[in-house]
Chains A and B, each alone.
Chain A
Amino acid sequence: MQLKKKPAAIRQTLAVATASLLGGVAQNANALETSSDWEIDSALLFYAESDRIVLAEPVVRVRKDMGNDRFLTVKLVIDALTGSSANGAIPTASPQTFTTPSGNGTYTTQANEVPLDPGFRDTRGAVNADWELPLGENLTGIFGFNFSNEFDYQSVGLSATLNWETSHKMTTWTLGVGFNADTVKPVGGVPVGLTNMPVLPAIKATEGADHAKDVQDLVLGWSRVLSRRDLLQLSLGYGNESGYLSDPYKILTVVDGATGAPVADPAQRYRYEKRPRDRTRQSLLVRWSHQFENDVLRLSYRYYTDDWGVDSHTLDVRYRFELADGDYLEPHLRYYTQGAADFYHTSLIDGQSYDFASADYRLADMVTTTLGLKYGWALSDRSEFSVRAELMKQSADPSQVIGVQSQQDLVPDVDAVILQFGYTLQF
């Protein structure tokens, strides 16, 4: 591929070099304009898993410069989700029938196929507002509010972030706190964890119509301009979730400990999952950006661990080729590897007792590889159109394979395609 040198890169290289010379971060040349600056970002994202979920997500973000270094940002997101999702039960040699979460009907999965709950249909609306303002010399505050609603889940949150610039703006310290109060109100009520999924027309045991979930987050960040071409960012995250953290629609198959086949009695064959009511997580993120003559390389590594026993490593590489006339091409590679939660069980063994259990493959030993490509067109110096296409493969491993289960692909790979169209405009 012939990649032409982008002329505008002279200005960008110069801006970064001048910032380094003067001991500060690059100024936005657009800041020249008067205080009526608007910036609009819009995107339409499609996410499709093979034979499973399809998601369409329009996003609109509006940022208004209110003058005196104050900015108001409002973001609206709508998620429209359809398709089917793995319900947690294992594939077996004979067809399986499940009661829907509402308790009003059933659905059947063919022999040797992964049971998918076909009733996955949901629309979520979310709004997020941020108010950014200077709090003092070199100190900026960003105060946010967010709200989202879908028919079985509601979330309200507040956040505050302080950015403090030191050493002539070469270093930025960030302190962020966030609090979210969520409500889960599953169809058919909140099932009692690890009780049996009833066979129609029986009624399931519930703990009421809804449950609360609280999420708290603390972030400490540090970023430094190392040279006119290098920026290093470090970020430590600490978070706690408490309340109802299970997935009310996920179940596990109860099997014979010797043969691995599901137990004979259909009323004893499936149980609702149950996760601990508390989760404490920590993360470390290191990000390095390097600007070559024109192109930009961004590398990041994230380590995550929580007290459910999940540890993960994420490596993310993006390389932006600057092309002629402000266009760019950006390949993206992401590699994610995760160790399973302590209570991840592909199936439950009849007669054993469990404190907690989930067969959600997202809590299993897993590797996710994402390969993507983004192309951006500069329509003018104030507007840009972009297209991003990504392929994602998730490969998870079962916690154990007993007897006849070896004849099944207990946790098949999930392939997904992501397509995003974006448009940005400043005026």
Chain B
Amino acid sequence: MPDFFLYRRDEGTHSYHAGRFEAMASPCEVLIDSEDGALADKLSHIAQAEARRIEHKFSRYRDDNIIHRINHARGKPVEVDEETADLLDYAALCYDISDGMFDITSGALRRVWHFDGSDHIPSRKAVRNILRHIGWRKIRWQRPRITVPGGMEIDLGGIGKEYAVDRVLRLIGEVSPVSVLVNFGGDLAASGPRRHGRGWIVGVEDPGNIQQHPATVKLAHSREEFELLRGGIATSGDTRRFLQKDGIRYGHILDPRTGWPVPDAPHSVTVAAGTCTEAGILATLAMLHGAGAEAFLREQGVRFWCQR
């Protein structure tokens, strides 16, 4: 099976190209507002290469990258490259401004929480024990050196896909001024108005997934659609991941400060912001606000869609 497709979509006088590939465990798509097939091919390959680069570099499922080295240093300092350092700085800032709710060390909770739809709720003691290995403050980060104590781990997966979307948009912008929409599994960003002066039509669909369509195609089943000129959209949440015991549903959004699921979190939150990365952080933080998700987003003054 080929790993890369390029389509041409005819839409009246304004055709565009769509490059499709698979990366970061998601279907990825780049819409290019140009009739130039060679250009579209070039830009799509740039997108694919960048998505794969970021996936390779920051995936926690590999044993040959910087994340693996950091997580297996057993308390020894690891010197990281500029890009990783920038992302760690960013994660540290997100930790600060969210009062510890956004924490890239929270992945260790997966050792006790298995969201398989079963009734396997971990014991309080197990959660308490695992919390000793969680908390960004326990990590020594002094650019460019990071020291992760044994038993702890970091995971940039909470930023990676959105970061990749914004990076691809930027790389394409350096090559060509054409308007593009980058969509990696529902997290997306657009670079600017299309040739006809309008944006890309984006639909927010049940259950919180996003699809994009040309301006002329109306989606009967989408809850809302609007024109995206520039900026990013990201979604947090997945309704299929939960545990249920004694009639109580435990959502998969875990508060790294308590180790327990956030009560009353929405099924999904979609946020529109200046970039896909910002939108992603805001969507994640909103989920962590549980019942207060909508109030939090309203305070931020961003456009959002909450599904409960």
Contacts and interface: CB of A to CB of B under 8 A. Distances in A.
B154 interface: no
Interface stretch (B14-22, B40-48, B126-134, B294-302): B294-302
B198 A34 contact: yes
Contact of B198 (A10, A13, A20, A35): A35
A28 B301 CA distance: 12
B273 A69 contact: no
Contacts of B303: 32
Interface centre among B192, B281, B282, B300 (most CB of A within 10 A): B300
Given A7-B299, A29-B231, A15 B97 contact: no
A189 B198 CA distance: 57
B300 A67 contact: no
B2 interface: no
Contact of A15 (B193, B229, B274): B274
B278 A15 contact: yes
B100 to A, nearest CB: 13
A34 B199 contact: yes
Interface string B226-253: 1111110000000000000000000000
B142 interface: no
A10 B98 contact: yes
Interface string B274-301: 1101100110010000000000100111
B166 A34 contact: no
A68 interface: yes
Interface residues of B, number: 40
Contacts of B226: 34
B166 A22 contact: yes
Given A34-B198, A69-B193, A21 B97 contact: no
Interface residues of A, number: 33
Given A8-B300, A21-B90, A137-B177, A14 B282 contact: yes
Interface string B249-279: 0000000000000000000000011110110
Interface in A26-76: 26-29, 31-35, 67-69
Interface in B58-89: 86-87, 89
A126 interface: no
Given A22-B170, A23-B170, A32 B301 contact: no
A88 interface: no
A32 to B, nearest CB: 4
Contacts of A35: 193, 197-199, 229
A381 B275 contact: no
A228 B97 CA distance: 14
Nearest to B177: A137
B56 interface: no
Given A35-B197, A68-B197, A21 B281 contact: no
Nearest to A67: B197
A252 B275 CA distance: 62
Contacts of B228: 32
B198 A11 contact: no
A69 B94 CA distance: 31
A32 B231 CA distance: 6
B167 A22 contact: yes
A22 B278 CA distance: 11
Interface string A2-13: 000001101101
Contacts of A137: 177
Contacts of B274: 15, 18, 26-29, 31
Nearest to A6: B299
Contact of A10 (B97, B170, B197, B231): B97
A27 to B, nearest CB: 3
B229 A32 contact: yes
A45 B228 CA distance: 38
A121 interface: no
B275 A18 contact: yes
A8 B97 CA distance: 11
Given A18-B90, A31-B229, A32-B231, A11 B273 contact: yes
Interface in B180-212: 192-193, 197-199
A419 to B, nearest CB: 29
B193 A14 contact: no
Contacts of A23: 170
A21 B163 CA distance: 9
A15 B170 contact: no
Interface centre among A20, A31, A228 (most CB of B within 10 A): A31
A24 interface: yes
B231 A31 contact: yes
B49 interface: no
Contacts of B278: 11, 14-15, 18, 29
B290 to A, nearest CB: 16
A10 B300 contact: yes
A249 B133 CA distance: 80
A7 B299 CA distance: 6
Given A33-B229, A67-B197, 7 more contacts: A7-B299, A8-B299, A11-B282, A13-B97, A22-B163, A228-B89, A326-B301
Interface of A: 7-8, 10-11, 13-15, 17-24, 26-29, 31-35, 67-69, 137, 168, 228, 293, 326, 381
25 contacts: A7-B300, A8-B299, A10-B285, A11-B273, A13-B93, A13-B97, A14-B94, A14-B281, A14-B282, A20-B90, A21-B163, A21-B277, A26-B274, A27-B230, A29-B302, A32-B272, A34-B226, A34-B229, A35-B193, A35-B197, A68-B193, A68-B197, A137-B177, A293-B96, A381-B301
10 pairs of A and B residues whose beta carbons are closest in the complex: A27-B274, A381-B301, A7-B299, A29-B274, A11-B300, A32-B231, A67-B197, A21-B90, A18-B278, A31-B230
